[in-house]
Amino acid sequence: MPAVSFEFFPPKSLQGSFRLWDCVSTLAPLKPEWVSVTYGAGGTTRELTRDAVAALGQEFGLNVAGHLTCVDASREETLDVARGFRAAGVTDIVALRGDPPKGADGFTPHPDGFQNSVELVEALAADGFNVRVGCYPDIHPEAAGPDADLDWLKRKIDAGASEAVSQFFFEAETFLRFRDRAVKAGIEATLVPGILPIEDWTKASKFARACGATIPEALEAAFERALRDDRADLLAIAQATELCDMLVEEGCDHLHFYTLNRPELTRDVCAALGLVPEASLSRVA
């Protein structure tokens, strides 16, 4: 049975807080190895992320990782957020460079900030945090090419990251080929596949297109038909379950789910994989 982890985003309203609570209450009984809370683009959710990681750790007893980016912040401001995580008992960080603010022409480091993700990883690892980083099976759109993308990933690992969590992708082959190339490039750290159970095909495919990811024609056609027949959720569960099955068969022993704070599809995919909530196990016993 694979280990799982779940990504949430911090709530921005009272309604959002209830939704997060519901999501975590539904998924926590699946005993994730860890969960994480994202950091808004441009550092827009600094306090919200810190408060959410603290609450999830304290109220649910989960191992929590806070995401952290270095967009639009000095080194001190960035490290201050990390110290806030530690004060809340959180010593795991998913460290990312972050995307430039909307409309900006590429990433420009803050004059007193970390210049890139490698510098951020180095500083956090030196300060004793367990650091995970992002990786891109479909190749990051800013990469000069596939090899340059892997060279950069290797630099992040060599700077002290313990493992890398991937961007979502649609086909197992995409991840497996990427993993093979990473091994050839001398990357020994675990690469954890990121799974997006597709709640909204239009948004998922738009995001993938913007990232330059390959969208299988057959999947596009299947979602178009399923949307017409009002069966998109069924297709989403079947697609994500088959993807996970193939990855597990090929030796992936950890799956990271992008929940988008909607627990149902992730819960159903986990159930299809045979992951049973602990509460129902104890009721059976």
Q: Which residues pair with 67 in a beta bridge?
A: 94
Q: Is 39 in the site for ligand FAD (CB under 6 A)?
A: yes
Radius of gyration of the chain (CA): 19
**Whole-Å CA distances, 18 to 54, 88, 284:** 16, 21, 29
User: Site map for ligand FAD, 185-204, x if CB under 6 A?
Assistant: ---------x----------
By CB under 6 A, name the one of 17, 19, 29, 41 that touches ligand FAD: 41
Our CB check for ligand FAD shows the closer of 118 and 236 to be: 118
Name which of 100, 182, 93 is nearest 135 in CA terms. Answer: 182
Calculate helix-pair angle for 201-210, 217-228, nearest 10 degrees. 160
Q: Which of 166, 226 has the CB closer to ligand FAD? A: 166
Minimum distance of ligand FAD from residue 120's CB (angstroms): 8
Are 272 and 241 in contact by the 8 Å Cβ rule? The answer is yes
* 204 neighbors 213 (Cβ within 8 angstroms): no
- What character string, x for contact with ligand FAD (CB under 6 A) and - otherwise, covers 203-232? ------------------------------
Residue in 7, 163, 173, 217 annotated catalytic: 7
Note if 188 is an active site residue: no
Q: In this chain, which stretch among 136-144, 240-248, 259-267, 269-277 interacts with ligand FAD, using CB under 6 A?
A: 136-144
Residue 230 CA: distances (Å) to CA of 120, 225, 241: 45, 9, 19
Q: Which stretch binds ligand FAD (CB under 6 A): 15-23, 92-100, 222-230, 239-247?
A: 92-100
Cβ nearer to ligand FAD, comparing 166 with 235: 166
> Shortest distance, CB of residue 56 to ligand FAD, whole angstroms?
15
CB of 59 to ligand FAD, least distance (A): 21
| Minimum CB–partner distance for residue 249 and ligand FAD (Å) | 23
Among 98, 137, 197, 263, binds ligand FAD (CB under 6 A): 98
Residue with tokens 């990473």: 182
Among 21, 33, 74, 143, binds ligand FAD (CB under 6 A): 143
Binding test (CB under 6 A) with ligand FAD, winner from 78, 130, 167, 266 = 167
- When asked if residue 142 is in the footprint of ligand FAD (CB under 6 A), the reply is yes
Residue 15: strand, helix, or coil: helix
**Phi, psi dihedral angles at 160 (to 5 degrees):** 125, 5
Extract the tokens encoding 196: 């997006």
The stretch among 21-29, 141-149, 222-230, 241-249 that binds ligand FAD (CB under 6 A) is 141-149
Phi-psi domain of 43 (left: phi exceeds 0; alpha: psi -120 through 50; beta: other): left
- If binding is defined by CB under 6 A, does position 140 make contact with ligand FAD? yes
- Rounded to 5°, the CA angle 78-132-138 comes to 110
Q: Using CA atoms, how far apart are residues 200 and 223, in angstroms rounded to an integer?
A: 10
Structure-token pair, residue 49: 């992320």
Separation CA 180–CA 203 (nearest Å)? 29
Q: Which residue has the tokens 């949307």?
A: 227
Q: List residues near ligand FAD by CB under 6 A.
A: 38-39, 41, 67, 69, 94, 96-99, 116-117, 134, 140, 142-143, 148-149, 152-153, 165, 167, 194
- Where in the sequence numbering do the catalytic residues fall? 7
